């Protein structure tokens, strides 16, 4: 167990649903990340929260909305997703200084139907 926990592990949702993914880290890190892993683009960075500042990949659609209430918790709110959003969503955390050794959660396997 690496200290980064994601829930749920699997999620099936319809295109009109609203759901949230949760990530929690117990490593004392102060930076957290959301990555999307699919066959087309392995390990694509979506969002970074570093010292409570959000940095995002400009190509991420607005139907994905992150929330980081504190340095230990990270959420990804999902609404009106498309089938092509089906993928493995990985959370990671690291220290906010070099070297940024990132530790990943187990991921949430999302299927949009």
Partner 1 sequence: GENVEQHPSTLSVQEGDSAVIKCTYSDSASNYFPWYKQELGKRPQLIIDIRSNVGEKKDQRIAVTLNKTAKHFSLHITETQPEDSAVYFCATGGGNKLTFGTGTQLKVEL
Question: To the nearest whole angstrom, how small is the minimum distance from the Cβ of residue 65 to partner 1?
Answer: 19
Q: How far is the CB of 87 from partner 1 (least distance, A)?
A: 14
104 contributes a contact to partner 1 by CB under 8 A: yes
**87-94/73-79 β-pairing:** unpaired
Question: In the 8-state DSSP scheme, what is residue 102?
Answer: -
**Pick 74 or 90: Cβ nearer partner 1:** 90
Asked if 26 is part of the footprint of partner 1 (rule: CB under 8 A), the reply reads no
Residues 37-76 that bind partner 1 (CB under 8 A): 42-45, 48, 50, 55
- The rounded distance, in Å, linking the Cα atoms of 105 and 92 is 6
Q: Is 90 within 8 Å of 79 (Cβ atoms)?
A: no
- Quote the tokens at residue 94: 């690291």
Least spacing, CB of residue 80 vs partner 1, in Å? 27
Give me 86's structure tokens. 């089906």
**Interacting residues toward partner 1 by CB under 8 A:** 2, 31, 33, 42-45, 48, 50, 55, 90, 96, 98-107
């Amino acid at each position: 167990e690496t200290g980064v926990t994601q829930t749920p592990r699997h999620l099936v949702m319809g295109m009109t649903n609203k759901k949230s993914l949760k990530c929690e880290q117990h490593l004392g890190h102060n930076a957290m990340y959301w990555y999307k892993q699919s066959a087309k683009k392995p390990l694509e960075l979506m969002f970074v929260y570093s010292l409570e500042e959000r940095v995002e990949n400009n190509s991420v659609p607005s139907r994905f909305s992150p929330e980081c209430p504190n340095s230990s918790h990270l959420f990804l709110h999902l609404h009106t997703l498309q089938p092509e959003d089906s993928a493995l969503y990985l959370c990671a955390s690291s220290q906010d200084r070099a070297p940024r050794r990132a530790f990943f959660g187990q991921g949430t396997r999302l299927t949009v139907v």
